[in-house]
Structure 1
Amino acid sequence: MSIKNLSKETVRIISSGQVITSITSVIKELVENSIDAKATNIECKLVGGGFTSIVVKDNGIGIPVNDRQYIGNRHCTSKLPDGSFNNISKVTTYGFRGEALNSICTISQSFSIETRTKEDIIGKMYQFDHMGNIISETPTNTTIGTTVQIIKIFYNTPVRKQAALKQKNNSIKSILEMLTSYALIYPNIRFSFKHSGNISNKISKRKVNATFNNNNVEWHSIICNSTMVISF
């Protein structure tokens, strides 16, 4: 069999699979975007362990109108002001490569962003294609902030999906641990996590003084009851 070039679409899928490797990595990228957007409330919701849908909603500053056409494009970022590494040491935000959202677009059946800034009269919902381009724009009556919805992540990467499915139970645990870590770092931000499925009962067994049911955990009281002030 002779050697042939992979199609551009295949190359995109392979590359995206190296950036987004698990459900946890999806949540990480989206939550860090919310933190960078100065959110004080971040809600994460998984359906079917994240393989059916993933939603991350925040009350941050929203995405400026002029930036929206670029948010799904590869290597487009607002976190390097001059677009180079010249001032990389001064970057105080998470992620600056501009790969995550484009990669999620590539390996998701559907990807949409709903956003509104304080300057907007109404919000807008944008649907993206697999290339990260906006294909539809719909007015919405949303509050200031951003909501990202992902449908059927890894649907076109069967090997990656199979590997992620094997880690489904561990993913919930790792997401909880990750969000708890962020909550420790950012006590001014309220993090909440909801998920559905057979593994939801595991959350209710956590011995913490928090507001939760079988599939809902909130961190404020967890942090208050599990930390102490150290002076040095």
Structure 2
Amino acid sequence: MSNQKKLKKLPQEVVNQIAAGEVIERPASVVKELVDNSIDAEATEITIKVRNGGISLIEVSDNGTGIPEEDLAEVFTAHTTTKLESLDDLNTLMSMGFRGEALSTIVAVSNVSMISKYEDENIAHKVNFNSPDDYKVTGAARESGTVVAVENIFENVPVRKKFLKTAQTEYRNILNILTPYFIIYPNIHWQLFKDGKKVVDLESTSSKAGKIDKERVNEVVNQDFVERMESVFFDGNGMQISGLVAHPSDHMSRTKYQYIFVNGRHVWDNGVAKSVFQAYDRYIPHGKKVPFILNVQIKP
């Protein structure tokens, strides 16, 4: 007699939790997705609060355009986005987020609530989620923007939660995710709270988003070599490259202070890094690295 089990379709709840593991790997992933949404909402003030390394709580609030009441629950539905209508839109996309997956997967693996005041509505609204399909929308008090609270990440997915590191390690991952944002968005007032204590407070500057502001970099990196960094600019071949590069005397063994952005999005490209290091090859000891911060602006 065959022991082969009958093929069964997975319940949607299980599908959501599996998908969440692909998009949301750890608390830092949640922070990134929520911050991207705040930036896309044209926020000029973003505050991030984390507790227990983001495992117990992640809260991101902004003063952006807000979300209409009719869309408040829908933003947590999979593949729902305001940024794409067709495949052709990918050719002109400039927003930070676009897949329409992040919020739905966050809801699948944590307790989520959101309060948002849409700029064209008189009052704010709040939505509480018990699950992706179990939610309630009510009136709320908020002057502008949106605040999203994510609690107890992976509490209902123990197999994923056991792979999380210590609270301190998860917090460092969050800080590593946020640091490039602090640099490339000097037009935003950033605040970060860790377990109730304010650890970052970066006032906005007059520089536009995407501008590598030396004053802001100095605040964020807080290293002596920043004062000696030189500005660079290139315009050609359909792109613009701008930023800061270190003096050759400030070479180091590690690659901690190298940042590459493409249209304001933090990336890592071995080809760009190799080109920079080759340019320094005659001036620094073999195998050493230099700090640099570059933003490449190019059409999508």
TM-score range, shorter chain: 0.7 to 0.9
* CA RMSD of superposed structures (Å): 2.1
Alignment partner, residue 34 of structure 2: 30
Alignment partner, residue 114 of structure 2: 113
Is the Cα contact below 8 Å between 1:154 and 1:160 reproduced in 2?
Answer: yes
**Alpha-carbon distance between aligned partners in 2 of 1:117 and 1:229, rounded to the nearest angstrom:** 42
The yes-or-no answer on 1:19 pairing with 2:23 is: yes
Given candidates 52, 71, 85, the residue that maps to 1:48 is: 52
Alignment partner, residue 216 of structure 1: 199
Measured against aligned partners, the alpha-carbon deviations of 1:134-177 in whole angstroms (never above 9, x if no partner) come to: 6222222212100001121101111211111x253222122222
Per-residue deviation, 1:218: 1.8
Alignment partner, residue 94 of structure 2: 92
Is the Cα contact below 8 Å between 2:60 and 2:149 reproduced in 1?
Answer: yes
Per-residue deviation, 1:128: 2.2
**Alpha-carbon distance between aligned partners in 1 of 2:47 and 2:230, rounded to the nearest angstrom:** 27
**Alpha-carbon distance between aligned partners in 2 of 1:156 and 1:2, rounded to the nearest angstrom:** 29
Is the Cα contact below 8 Å between 2:67 and 2:146 reproduced in 1?
Answer: yes
Distance change >3 Å, CA 150–CA 25, structure 1 → 2? same
Per-residue deviation, 1:95: 2.0
Alignment partner, residue 127 of structure 1: 128
Per-residue deviation, 1:215: 4.8
The yes-or-no answer on 1:157 pairing with 2:157 is: yes
Alignment partner, residue 67 of structure 2: 63
Distance change >3 Å, CA 59–CA 123, structure 1 → 2? same
Give the alignment's TM-score, normalised by structure 1.
0.82
**Which AA in structure 2 matches 1:230?**
S
Aligned-residue identity in percent: 36
**Which AA in structure 2 matches 1:97?**
R
Structure 1 consecutive aligned stretches of length 4 or more whose deviation exceeds 4 Å: 224-229
**Alpha-carbon distance between aligned partners in 2 of 1:141 and 1:229, rounded to the nearest angstrom:** 47
Q: Secondary structure at the match of 1:177?
A: helix
Per-residue deviation, 1:86: 1.3
Measured against aligned partners, the alpha-carbon deviations of 1:183-213 in whole angstroms (never above 9, x if no partner) come to: 211110112111229xxxxxxxxxxxxxxxx
Name which one, 1 or 2, has greater alpha-carbon Rg. 2
Alignment partner, residue 203 of structure 1: none
What is the count of residue pairs matched by the alignment? Answer: 211
**Which AA in structure 2 matches 1:125?**
K
Is the Cα contact below 8 Å between 2:155 and 2:161 reproduced in 1?
Answer: yes
Is the Cα contact below 8 Å between 2:43 and 2:63 reproduced in 1?
Answer: yes
Is the Cα contact below 8 Å between 1:69 and 1:134 reproduced in 2?
Answer: no
**Alpha-carbon distance between aligned partners in 2 of 1:217 and 1:2, rounded to the nearest angstrom:** 57
Listed as ranges, the gaps of 5+ residues in structure 2 are 204-214, 234-300
Per-residue deviation, 1:2: 3.5
Q: Secondary structure at the match of 1:137?
A: strand
**Alpha-carbon distance between aligned partners in 1 of 2:180 and 2:115, rounded to the nearest angstrom:** 27
Is the Cα contact below 8 Å between 1:124 and 1:137 reproduced in 2?
Answer: yes
Q: Secondary structure at the match of 1:178?
A: helix
**Alpha-carbon distance between aligned partners in 1 of 2:76 and 2:12, rounded to the nearest angstrom:** 17
Is the Cα contact below 8 Å between 2:65 and 2:144 reproduced in 1?
Answer: yes
The yes-or-no answer on 1:143 pairing with 2:143 is: yes
Q: Secondary structure at the match of 1:87?
A: helix
Give the alignment's TM-score, normalised by structure 2.
0.65
